A = this chain, B = another copy of it.
Amino acid sequence: MSGKHIFDLMSTLWPICRSITGDGVRETLNKIQSFLPGLKVHEVPTGTKCFDWEIPKEWNIKDAYILNPNGEKIIDFNVSNLHVVNYSIPVNKEIDLEDLQSHLHSIKNQPDAIPYVTSYYKENWGFCISHNQRERLRKGKYKVVIDSELKNGHLTYGELIIKGKSKKEVFISTYICHPSMANNELSGPCLTTFLTRYIEKMNPKYTYRIIFVPETIGSIFYLSKNLKILQENILAGFNINCVGDNNNWSFLPSKNGNLYVDRLTRRILKKRGVNYKEYSFLERGSDERQYCSPGIDLPVCSIMRSKYNTFEEYHTSHDNLEFVSEDGLQGAFEIYCNLIDEIERDIIPFCKIMAEPMMSKRGLRPTIGKRNSANSTKIFMDFLIFADGKNNLKEISKLINCDLEEAVKILDTLKKHDLIDYISK
């Protein structure tokens, strides 16, 4: 069962301290490569401009802890990498509790959770701690140590392109920048890993472009580098994240809300009888923020289990491996497999030939012409005349009054005869 494999990979990647740059990302991609040998790892130097942004310095961390006035280690990065504010600069000093407080982060309402806090673009340092523990801190001198490094380096991301028979692409994006949290985010790249293996095995018609990027800065860089080809070729895209728990189903459509990929997704969710909540695009919060922005306008949506920012465990130490489950992952995996399967079937065909193709030379029409001898050919001709890039297969089937199965057969035949251009080779 894929749910179990995904969960196991999550467990493997769990301890790694990821961030938007650094060795945690590399190690994560490296472990994913053992499942996806075709995954290509790209490094983008610090300072590279991309639209309004610039690749930041690279951050790495070896250790971090706090010793209390008694010299006891009360906070230990090795116990939870959430304890250190992500992108903290090095620090090593004694500090009064009062001064320490301004560098501590906790959540009053969730007193036993360690929050997830970052400071990517402003040099700072800090520790994250459960509110219960924070309340127990006594006055005195604390030793704070963050053995980190922030210097020119690279942003790292993974890209895997599965060449299909068509240049038209399905785009899958997931992110690999969060330290030890499960639903948001390890579920995303881990499910994507096994989804990629699923696609690799299927010898797909479409080309699949799958990227594992640090959220925001990674997708923005990727867009800045590949915008034209993405806009030309992407037929449908998904931003995969929050796919691990077994509580809810959530759908975040594209900005347009009624593109092919939106209709496709609703169709699949309905077909599976899934009870899901459709969010407004205003509720977006992940890389669709980039993919659907003005002038970029890619057809990207997300199907999630419990959507980011809607569950209490989100961005805390409680979003752990117990919050997700093999069943939850399996369900999401199946939906995405269904979507891929459906996309593979459910295509927008383009007739490759001007005017009617000559069907008899392809054996698609009897060479002897007599009354009604073209009857068997008619459905092909009907299909071709609506294969104008404005209708997907199902819509064509409705237009020409045949069922989808028959339309698939027609398509296969026309494909075989190189009359439909979604097959590029």
Contacts and interface: CB of A to CB of B under 8 A. Distances in A.
Best-surrounded residue of A116, A353, A371 (most CB of chain B within 10 A): A371
Given A354-B223, A354-B224, A355-B52, A293 B385 contact: yes
Interface stretch (A118-126, A135-143, A404-412): A118-126
A117 interface: yes
A294 B220 contact: no
Main secondary structure of the interface of A (DSSP, over half): loop
Contact of A384 (B105, B227, B293): B293
B353 A122 contact: no
B117 A369 contact: yes
Contact of A361 (B117, B121, B126, B289): B121
Nearest to A388: B294
A317 to B, nearest CB: 12
Nearest to A280: B401
A167 to B, nearest CB: 18
Interface range, A side: 35 or more
A353 B51 contact: yes
Nearest to A291: B355
Interface in A343-369: 350-351, 353-358, 360-361, 367-369
A42 to B, nearest CB: 18
Oligomer copy total: 3
Given A116-B371, A255-B385, A293 B356 contact: yes
Given A220-B356, A223-B355, A282-B401, A367 B122 contact: yes
A52 B121 CA distance: 59
B105 A370 contact: yes
Interface in A215-233: 216, 219-220, 223-224, 227
A57 interface: no
Given A382-B282, A385-B294, A314 B371 contact: yes
Contacts of A224: 354-355
